[in-house]
């Protein structure tokens, strides 16, 4: 089983999966109490599903970018859990990759070759990253990160697209401030999904894909065999 935890935005999201099948999920708005509730919340979530840590093979954590406090707390909690449960392996995940995974099917249906994901920086701009959808191949991830994560102002997205020599009609945009892009960039497709923030369920789905396909995630900029916060610039507690 896989338990995945995401808190790079303003919510705590937890999902429990058996392979790629969802068993249960939990979504909690948080303020400043995350460090106090994280472990009891995880334990109660497992109890509610008649599961113990011994039943969990993998724990996946959204490592950012995003809220420094949220990322730091869930990583610390996951490290403590894995130290106490040597049967459990940990995977760190790029939260923007999890967001891209949530719209992969939609992107293919809209015949997009690329996905741009964005997360709030809490500084009036967005963390952003470009992913290219891969063709079906057992040795590849569903998509590849085409560049490093950047922080840009949303009004500069047109320049971002041009600088990467992309055509707007080939891109699906998902994430923070997506509503501001409607009709502002010609032919740019905006995700129709209601949820535009990182979600633990999609981290779990991506983790399941990696495990099932036995994919080497080294140097992918998407998943990591260690838990470490992804910082694009100096962290601020928020």
Q: Are 127 and 67 in contact (CB under 8 A)?
A: no
Same fold, 2-94+198-224 and 96-190: yes
Backbone angles phi, psi at 147, to 5 degrees: -160, 175
Mean pLDDT over 8-22 rounds to 92
Q: Stretch 223-233: mean pLDDT, rounded? A: 89
Q: What fold characterizes domain 96-190?
A: Nucleotidyltransferase; domain 5 (3.30.420)
Whether the bond into 65 is cis, omega within 30 of 0: yes
pLDDT in the model for residue 138: 65
Domains in the chain: boundaries: 2-94+198-224, 96-190
pLDDT of 21-72, one tens digit each?
999 999 998 877 889 999 999 999 999 999 999 999 999 999 999 988 899 9
Fold designation for 2-94+198-224: Nucleotidyltransferase; domain 5 (3.30.420)
Distance between CA atoms of residues 69 and 84, nearest Å: 23
Mean pLDDT calculated for residue range 1-20: 93
Alpha carbon distances (Å) from 111 to 99, 107, 141, 183, 220: 18, 6, 18, 19, 24
Per-residue model confidence (pLDDT) at position 235:
55
Residue with tokens 């990467």: 164
- With contact defined as beta carbons under 8 Å apart, do 209 and 201 qualify? no
pLDDT above 70 covers what percent of the chain?
A: 97
Say if residue 233's pLDDT is above 80. no
* DSSP assignment of 152-220: E-GGGHHHHHHHTT--GGGEEEEETTGGGGTTTSTT-EE---S--S--HHHHHHHHHHHHHHT---TT-
pLDDT in tens, 84-104: 999 999 999 999 999 999 999
At 106-157, the pLDDT tens digits run 999 999 999 999 999 988 899 999 999 998 766 789 999 999 999 999 999 9
Handedness of CA 221, 105, 171, 151 (dihedral sign): negative
Dihedrals phi, psi of 142, to nearest 5 degrees:
-60, -25
Q: Which of 58, 66, 76, 69 is nearest to 16 (CA)?
A: 58
**Which residues, at least 6 apart from 20, have a Cβ–Cβ distance to it below 8 Å?**
205, 208, 209, 212
Whole-model pTM: value is 0.94
């Amino acid at each position: 089983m896989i338990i995945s935890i995401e808190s790079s935005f303003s919510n705590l999201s937890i999902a429990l999966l058996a392979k790629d099948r969802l068993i249960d999920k939990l979504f909690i708005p948080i303020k400043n109490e995350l460090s106090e509730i994280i472990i009891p919340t995880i334990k109660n979530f497992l109890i509610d599903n008649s599961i113990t840590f011994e039943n969990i093979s993998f724990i996946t954590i959204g490592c950012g970018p995003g809220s420094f406090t949220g990322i730091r707390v869930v990583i610390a909690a996951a490290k403590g859990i894995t130290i106490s449960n040597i049967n459990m392996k940990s995977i760190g995940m790029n939260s923007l990759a999890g967001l891209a995974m949530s719209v992969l099917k939609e992107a293919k249906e809209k015949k997009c070759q690329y996905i741009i994901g964005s997360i709030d920086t809490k500084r009036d701009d967005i963390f952003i990253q470009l992913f290219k959808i891969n063709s079906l191949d057992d040795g590849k991830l569903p998509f590849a990160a085409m560049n490093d994560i950047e922080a840009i102002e949303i009004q500069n997205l047109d320049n971002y697209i041009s600088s990467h020599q992309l055509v707007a009609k080939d891109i699906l945009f998902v994430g923070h401030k997506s509503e501001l892009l409607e009709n502002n960039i010609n032919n740019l497709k905006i995700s129709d999904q209601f949820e535009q923030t990182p979600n633990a369920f999609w981290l779990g789905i991506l983790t399941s894909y990696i495990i099932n396909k036995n994919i080497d995630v080294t140097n992918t900029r998407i998943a990591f065999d260690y838990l470490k916060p992804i910082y694009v610039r100096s962290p601020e507690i928020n």
